[in-house]
Chain A
Amino acid sequence: MSRDALLVRRAGLQTTVQDLGRPGYGRFGVPLSGAMDTESLRLGNMLLDNPAHAAGLEMTLVGPELEALGSLDCAYTGADMNLTVNGRRLQPYRAFAVREGDVLRFGAVRTGARAYLCLRGGVDVEPVLGSRSTAVTARIGGFEGRPLLGGDIIRALEPASSTTPLVRGLPQSLLRRHGRETTLRIVEGPQVAEMHEALEHLLAADWTVNGRSNRVGVRLDGPRLPVRPQAWRTEGVPIGAVQVPADGAPILLLADRQTTGGYPKPAVIAAVDLPAAGQLQPGDRVAFRMVAIEEAVELLRERESILSSARPEGRSAGAIESTISALETSTVTELEVQRGSLAFKWTRPSTE
């Protein structure tokens, strides 16, 4: 049960359908995929009372132009991509309603790399191995495994419930700021013992994000790390692995990474900082800080606790039907989320 929601008038630089990915198929060579900044996608779904794993649009650096094909509740999160709706500017981390013919025009980001547009009910494409995520290199999921193109029609699932939301946004304390300088916390990787020197250099240096970065990996410019010219064993690659190929230039392996690889990995980005890694844009400066595994788990637990107990901040209640006229005259109507569980969905049945 779904309906036409948006027409893609211009696709943007790389706009893909993403949810929280397809865990559990790594042994078949299937990458995890899913949102690069899972937290922003989850907050978008939270604003719309969607399940945390509902699919949305991930927009990269320069966003698309979309036309509403009917009445629709949307939420916009992640990097500020200069969204205008019918010419009126909207801030991220808001939910809003549009009507048939309204035009959502995303611009370019200044900081951060990725914005998310969630739709009430979730974007509907055929699930592949339990996920609607697009794996561009593996060519599965989303729109035939590819980024969106002009002329595509995005469909939305019917929402499970018809709760009437209140007018609210998300508390500022919940939101991450995307600057041009990011510190990522890392923990020990499989080759930590063999690569102590490289790890020390990694921690000591300042790094710059290379333009040849994508959903598979973020390449870093800086000093060349020492790496022994030996045949390293081929092994499974965890998400967030800091991989050091033979040329000594580190690569952060993210959502669309290959499941196996033969380069050493002295460190892995702490899971709590993966959303920040997913927001790195070319030219950003990156530093690393080492934490113990126990600390990384505790940081993740704290962050999950904050997210799952988040209460949207309220103003007055209001009806969403009048949103677009309100849009023209005052501010955008913001939809509240019912307080609910944001439990991370790690495992899922193989079919939906």
Chain B
Amino acid sequence: MMRLRFVPAGESAVMALAPGGDLEERAAYLRGILAALEAAPPPHLVDAIPTGDTMLLLYDPLRTTAVEIETYVSGFAVPAPEEHSESRLIEIPVLYGGEMGVDLGRVAAFAGVSEAEVVELHAQTEYIVRFLGFMPGFPYLGPLPVRLTTPRHETPRTVVPAGSVAIAEDQTSIYPVASPGGWNLIGRTPCRLFDPREDPPSMLLPGDRVRFRPVDEAEYSRIHFEILAGRR
């Protein structure tokens, strides 16, 4: 049975740490806590921001204390990690390489394989959404096949197009909106990752399973058009 550890993070937040086990186990455990918190939040909890093995709990310090929050959160009976394997599986169409994935060759060179093999490795793997961060709806997906581990660009690009599917170190992600970024761009999806009119606003949520499906230009354009037309 894991026990959370807590460290202060100012007077309005406390950091919960999940020690023990490997990263995936700790992450699964924290996702269980997050689900429990969303179902029944303690009074005056403002937000809970999970990462791989931590969760920042933000609260109103005039109405509750860190101790009250810690006691409440520690009291959750969180199911074992394997019970979460029933999470959603979401498929994301990707047009790999070319103009859409200008760094596919760089990733292939680091891996010592062909571009086609990079695509195959990337698309045949099932990822877990470890957490969202950096910008609204930006998912940190892992584990990436070890072969595909590629360092970030030393100088980030000033503009990475929205929908870019990218790799950095041992993780992969999708840029929800255009932004500066240093990840290696290997393809692009027409999917809308973040839409503030939706509830929840993010297409992917922590704990979701994700698979990338290679599509050709015609299918990319068809899906893109359907999304723009509001038909999917």
Contact = CB atoms under 8 A, between A and B. Distances in A.
Interface of A: 23-30, 128-129, 135, 137-140, 187-190, 192-193, 233-241, 258-261, 265, 268-271, 293, 296-297, 300-301, 304, 344, 346-347, 350-351
A26 B47 CA distance: 6
B56 A237 contact: yes
B135 A138 contact: yes
A237 B199 CA distance: 23
Interface string B130-160: 0111111110100000000000000000000
| Pairs A-B, 5 closest by C-beta atoms | A236-B56, A268-B10, A260-B133, A236-B49, A296-B11
Contact of B10 (A23, A27, A238): A238
A239 B59 CA distance: 12
B9 interface: yes
Interface stretch (B60-68, B69-77, B91-99, B101-109): B60-68
A238 B51 contact: no
B223 interface: no
A240 B62 contact: no
B34 A27 contact: yes
B196 interface: yes
A238 B201 contact: no
B20 to A, nearest CB: 15
B61 A300 contact: yes
Contacts of B137: 28-29
B221 interface: no
Given A30-B136, A138-B135, A271 B12 contact: yes
A176 to B, nearest CB: 20
B90 interface: no
B179 interface: yes
Contacts of B51: 233-236, 260
A129 to B, nearest CB: 5
Nearest to B7: A190
B172 to A, nearest CB: 15
A258 B133 CA distance: 7
Contacts of B7: 190, 192-193
Interface in B1-32: 7-13, 15
B214 interface: no
Contacts of B194: 28-29
A76 to B, nearest CB: 28
Nearest to A189: B9
Nearest to B55: A236
Given A238-B9, A258-B133, A27 B46 contact: no
Contacts of A129: 196, 201
Nearest to A30: B136
Contacts of A27: 34, 47-50, 131-132, 206
Nearest to A347: B46
B200 interface: yes
14 contacts: A23-B46, A27-B50, A27-B131, A29-B202, A140-B196, A190-B8, A233-B51, A236-B15, A259-B132, A260-B134, A268-B13, A270-B11, A296-B11, A344-B62
Contacts of B134: 29, 258-260
A138 B194 CA distance: 11
B154 to A, nearest CB: 14
Given A190-B9, A293-B8, A300 B15 contact: no
Contacts of B133: 29, 234, 258-261
A351 B199 contact: yes
A122 B55 CA distance: 35
B187 interface: no
Which has the most chain B C-beta neighbours within 10 Å: A28, A187, A258, A301? A28
Nearest to A128: B196
B44 interface: yes
Contacts of A347: 44, 46, 60
A193 B60 CA distance: 24
Given A28-B136, A238-B9, 8 more contacts: A25-B47, A28-B201, A29-B132, A29-B194, A233-B53, A235-B51, A236-B51, A346-B44
B53 A187 contact: no
Given A260-B51, A260-B134, A300-B61, A187 B8 contact: yes
Contacts of B191: none
B160 to A, nearest CB: 13
B61 A265 contact: no
B98 to A, nearest CB: 26
Nearest to B199: A350
Contacts of A28: 132, 136-137, 194, 200-202
